[in-house]
Structure 1
Amino acid sequence: MRRAHALIIDDDPVNNKVLANLLEMHEVSSTLVEATGNFPDVLVDLPDCDLVFLDLEMPGLDGYEVFDLLASDTRFAAVPVIVCSVHTNEMANTRHVGLDGFIAKPLDSRRFPDQLNRILRGEAVWDAR
């Protein structure tokens, strides 16, 4: 059986490492992606994935702009995009614009396995704690 693969789009190296380690502990591989101004060019070379974890506040492009680019690409249009952000006040807006879930930062390693399993089963996760 093929391992699930996630894209992590976040500008914070500490958050990237924490999330990548949590995913690896649960047999999900990951690719770290920087959302810079040249993200449209980077998008072409991204590997196929089963889910995307997306920060909202990044230099270059913000999470909403990255989501629009992902949604307009046929390879990623059906892939769940989950926001991971400290900005819990944005949760309603992320749902309104069509994102597939929200997990508050800092990530809770005790809750993350359940959140991840629900996402992989196709369930929405809206967790601002």
Structure 2
Amino acid sequence: MPVASNEYFVPVVPSDASVIIVEDNPDNLFVLEILLREDLRVKYYNGRASGRQFFKLLEANPRLYPDLVLLDIQLPYEDGFTVFKNMLNVPQLKNTQVIAVTANVMPQDVAKARELGFNGLIGKPINRNRFPAQITRILNGESVWEPY
């Protein structure tokens, strides 16, 4: 199951990190990819537009153990909350931190993400000045709950 606690967590420096973005909006995906590549210089990143595509990526790459998944909540076919629930059954993700990256920042949305076991939430629009530090803190095992 994704890392809801730090039971299996091992800190990762961004340059060694494997990050998967599940985001259906091409502009938001582009921004996240730029920040990961240029500001954080992550080792590997991959973007997918839906939960279905994300699970197909994992299925096609059984040796892919992402350190972090940045998961949009408003996705086609099924929302990010449903995708997260399905992630809990994937052994390949047991050491993966999952962060909701969303414009859904109402208190009930944040509470739902916490209740389900997300490792944090970052609100959209992404703040380019804060994002690298947020991701670095997450990769160090800190929960980041910053909807604004």
The TM-score, its normalising length taken from structure 2, stands at 0.80
Pairwise CA distance, 1:43? 3.6
Aligned residues: 129
The gaps in structure 1 that reach 5 residues or longer are none
Pairwise CA distance, 1:45? 2.1
Counterpart AA for 1:127: E
Matched residues in 2 for 1:120 and 1:37: separation? 25
Equivalent residue number for residue 46 of structure 2: 31
CA contact (8 A) 1:10 1:54 kept: yes
Pairwise CA distance, 1:8? 0.2
Matched residues in 2 for 1:61 and 1:77: separation? 22
Name the CA shift for 1:52/1:39 in 2 (closer, same or farther; >3 Å).
closer
* RMSD, aligned CA: 1.8
Pairwise CA distance, 1:70? 1.5
Q: Does 1:20 align with 2:39?
A: no
Pairwise CA distance, 1:37? 4.9
Matched residues in 2 for 1:24 and 1:98: separation? 27
Pairwise CA distance, 1:67? 0.7
Superposition pairs for residues 1-129 of structure 1, below 5 Å? Answer: 3-25=16-38, 26-28=40-42, 29-35=44-50, 37=52, 40-46=55-61, 47-89=64-106, 90-129=109-148
Name the CA shift for 1:116/1:39 in 2 (closer, same or farther; >3 Å).
closer
**Which string of whole-angstrom CA distances, capped at 9 and with x for unpartnered residues, describes residues 36-90 of structure 1?**
5565444412532110000001111210111122221011122100000001011
Matched residues in 2 for 1:38 and 1:53: separation? 14
The percentage of aligned residue pairs carrying the same residue is 33
